[in-house]
Amino acid sequence: MLGRTFAANLVKNEELYKFVYELRERGLALAVLSDTIEPHARAIREAGLLEPFEHAFLSYEVGLRKPNLAIYRFVLEKLGLSPEQVGFTDDNVSNVEGAQSLGIRSVRFEGVPSLRQRILTNFLAIN
């Protein structure tokens, strides 16, 4: 029942997904790190919302939640990357600050236009 409730309330941000696919076309590997519970995760998987991402790290599977530094370390280890090789965005300031404290380049999500500008100019140095 809870899964159906989540599924009924899912809204795909088309502008964001367009940008995600643009980043993939540029050769970036993309992952999701989400604090979620199993019924919500099932709903987003069934809706295809995780498809553009090579990896999905979901808190209920990992057993940790953001901004616990251990979850960022877990993801870095699984990806085989150093903090300097990773970019992170989240709408929660505490989550952004947690990632930044480990040296992960991070920005707060405040909408697609600002995210696009910050990633393309700051992370990728593309104008």
Report phi then psi at 31, rounded to 5.
-135, 155
Q: How far, in Å, CA of 38 to CA of 9, rounded? A: 16
pLDDT at 122: 77
Quick check: bond before 67 cis, omega within 30? yes
Predicted pLDDT at 83: 97
| CATH number of residue 9's parent domain | 3.40.50.1000
CA dihedral 8, 40, 48, 85 (to 10 degrees): 140
Q: Which domain holds residue 44?
A: 2-123
- Give pLDDT, residue 127: 39
**Residue stretches of the chain with pLDDT short of 70:** 1-8, 125-127
How many separate domains does the chain show?
1
Partners of 57 in the β-ladder: 33
pLDDT of residue 1: 46
Sign of CA dihedral 78, 83, 86, 87: positive
CB 110 within 8 A of CB 90: no
